[in-house]
A and B are shown apart, each in its own frame.
Chain A
Amino acid sequence: MAQQLTQEIEEKDRLALAEMNQPLILGNPSYHDVTRVVSEIVEVRTPKIWYMALALTGGITAILGSMLAYLVWNGIGVWGNNSPVGWGWDITNFVFWIGIGHAGTLISAILFLFRQKWRTSINRFAEAMTLFAVACAGIYPAFHVGRPWRAYWLFPIPIADHGMWQNFRSPLEWDVFAVSTYATVSLLFWFVGLIPDLAILRDRATTKIRRTIYGVLSLGWRSSSTHWKNYEKAYTILAGISTPLVLSVHTIVSFDFAVAILPGWHTTIFPPYFVAGAIFSGFAMVVTLMVIARWVFKVEHIVTMKHLENMCKVMVATGTIVGYAYATEMFIAWYSGNPYEQFTFINRATGPYYWAYWIMISCNVLSPQLFWFKRMRTSIPVMFVVSIIVNIGMWFERFVIIATSLHRDFLPSSWGYFHPTIVDILTFFGTFGLFLTLFLLFLRFLPMIAVQEVKGTMAAEKH
């Protein structure tokens, strides 16, 4: 009896161990198989569906372009921004897109430093997402300045058309530095990671034009031990500096609010709360896109269920942190004894924007709790739906923070309400077109999986 029990326990342990050590790459492919599977995605004849998808997303991007042109022609009055809600959808969408980008840097930098080998199958994809999300985010502040042809005034460039210089006390100026540094460093990090994989495409090229283009882009990379030595050092340093960078970017974005004295914004919890929310929404976006991409491009053995499951685990963790932050905000508002602070938070949950608040709570706090169950976090339909719900919820979080804090400030005579205009809505819709267009181009012309890193992981697993 006792022996049988011991055997059963041993068997269970063995199974648990086997599950923990699931191989990251399934089916035991050779190095050549990995090269082939990933490279062929960009080498086969362009599928018709790609053109159709590009036409669709290109059309949506055209809507973005025409809305921005209309805005430049007429001024930002075409948006719903008013007094007192001077920041409306524009800043909501800016924070939304920046936040989405953060998962890419988290996967490429922070998980790299923690030696999380599972990142190698998804990091290239997530980094691309970062870049395209930051591009969408950048549109909003650039056009919100009202005269976008003078947006360069935000940068300390000695151009003599005015004698003025920037005010470095302003969090908005910090944001200029943070976001532009973030975009530049993300681009550099992404490009460094791409060099060896571009060399693969160069070496496999069958036409002269492909060989020339990928040859120039890969800069003559020849995979020597010296190359790898300096490359790995550069990659580690970039990961090391990107880690505080990504934390600083959303911290500084949250300073745009926290440094103001408006109740609902003026809180010290904002930096960690914004960073957690950013990672949460970013992982949700990676899951949404990856579920589609791995199915369309048949790379399920490289981007396995284990990768998706890990991302779901990150979502339940960060979603719960975000829920905890909502509770803390409420508690501190009550505990502070400050009547303005208390009013703001009660107004958030029960005032004219109550619907936005409860959408936010149910999407962000309740929906990811499903991922406590293994069956849920290994189900593709469930994770796909939840990841979309989470992104809707995270958009509402930014909207709630911005609109509900602004629409009722200290003076009841200046209270108002925010209605988005059709231009607001179509501009936001259009940024999805831009995001997806850039993504389609990336999937068509660049390796979507970091081939050399996957091979390194395979080699490490063999030992």
Chain B
Amino acid sequence: MIKALIEKLLTPKKGTFGVAANFESVEGILSAVMRARAEGYTKLETYTPFPIHGMDEALGNPPSVLGYIVICIGLCGTATAIALTYWVGTIAYPLVIGGKPLWAIEYTLPIIFELTILFSAFASVLGMLHLNRLPQFYHALFNYSGFSKISDDAFVLVIESQDPKFNAERAKQFLNSIGGHVVEVVEE
């Protein structure tokens, strides 16, 4: 089963992923996105060495939903801490120490706080990885010859093949016409 899973992860899908081009600067990629959207393309994705302010608005991406995930799991942490301290203090191992009640908010607050934080932290990291579909050790873009420069200083725009207007030749021409470098059709 594990072998099958690994094979599934490593075998490429067939077909075209999209057309990629490098725009070499923050201004370049932002204006390229604007022009591609003006041209009517909707399935666009950019790949940049660092997050660019205003890129999500330019692409029309909705904001991240991670915050909702984190608050739900964080509150589960709160509930876990209350349940744990209550169960331990009153049911599993009731001890009277210093005449204090078996359970009280005053002395369980540190535990409640810390578990809320702990659950939230795991939720934000695992949630981020899930939303980004990571870990993912194969992706079509790895076939793009300029891929290894993205993490360095390349600002790449991809018009994806799922775009209703997609036509590899025309997309290539378009990206060339707006000043893209290393314009390539990227296969899956």
Contact = CB atoms under 8 A, between A and B. Distances in A.
Interface string B134-153: 11111101100001111111
Nearest to B148: A203
Nearest to B101: A169
Given A225-B59, A237-B120, A452-B49, A165 B92 contact: yes
A168 B94 CA distance: 11
Nearest to A197: B151
Nearest to A205: B148
B5 interface: no
Interface stretch (A126-134, A184-192, A364-372): A184-192
A436 to B, nearest CB: 28
Chain B, interface size: which category?
35 or more
A61 B11 CA distance: 46
B46 interface: yes
A219 B136 contact: yes
Interface in A338-389: none
A459 B139 contact: no
Interface in A165-223: 165-169, 173-174, 177-178, 181, 184-185, 188-189, 191-192, 196, 199-200, 202-204, 215-216, 219-223
Nearest to B44: A225
Contact of A35 (B74, B139, B152): B152
A429 interface: no
A225 B45 contact: yes
B123 to A, nearest CB: 9
Interface in A443-463: 452-453, 455-456, 459-460, 462
A156 B64 contact: no
Contacts of B129: 219
B47 A252 contact: no
A456 B117 CA distance: 28
A233 interface: yes
B159 interface: no
B127 interface: yes
A169 B55 CA distance: 50
Contact of A228 (B51, B63, B85): B51
Interface in B24-75: 26, 45-53, 55-56, 59, 61, 63-64, 66-67, 70, 74
A220 B117 contact: no
A459 B88 contact: no
Contact of A164 (B26, B93, B98, B115): B93
A203 B135 contact: no
Contacts of B113: 244, 248
Interface in B109-167: 110-111, 113-115, 117-118, 120-122, 124-125, 127-129, 131-132, 134-139, 141-142, 147-153
A87 to B, nearest CB: 20
Contacts of B111: 168, 173-174, 177
A231 B125 contact: no
Nearest to A215: B137
Given A222-B141, A226-B132, A244-B117, A167 B47 contact: no
Nearest to A39: B152
Chain A, interface SS category: helix
B182 interface: no
A203 B149 contact: yes
Interface string A130-171: 000000000000000000000000001000000111111100
Given A169-B100, A226-B45, A456 B64 contact: no
Contacts of B124: 233-234, 237-238, 241
Nearest to A249: B114
Contact of B66 (A30, A163, A222, A230): A230
A245 interface: yes
Contacts of B115: 177, 181
A229 B92 contact: no
A248 B158 CA distance: 45
A32 interface: yes
Contact of B147 (A31, A181, A203): A203
A181 B114 contact: yes
A93 B5 CA distance: 48
B50 A455 contact: yes
Chain A to chain B: the 6 pairs with minimum beta-carbon distance, closest first: A234-B128, A165-B93, A31-B153, A228-B51, A219-B135, A203-B148
11 contacts: A31-B49, A35-B49, A165-B92, A168-B111, A169-B97, A169-B100, A181-B121, A216-B135, A226-B45, A234-B124, A237-B66
Interface of A: 30-32, 35, 156, 163-169, 173-174, 177-178, 181, 184-185, 188-189, 191-192, 196, 199-200, 202-204, 215-216, 219-234, 237-238, 241-242, 244-245, 248, 252, 255, 452-453, 455-456, 459-460, 462
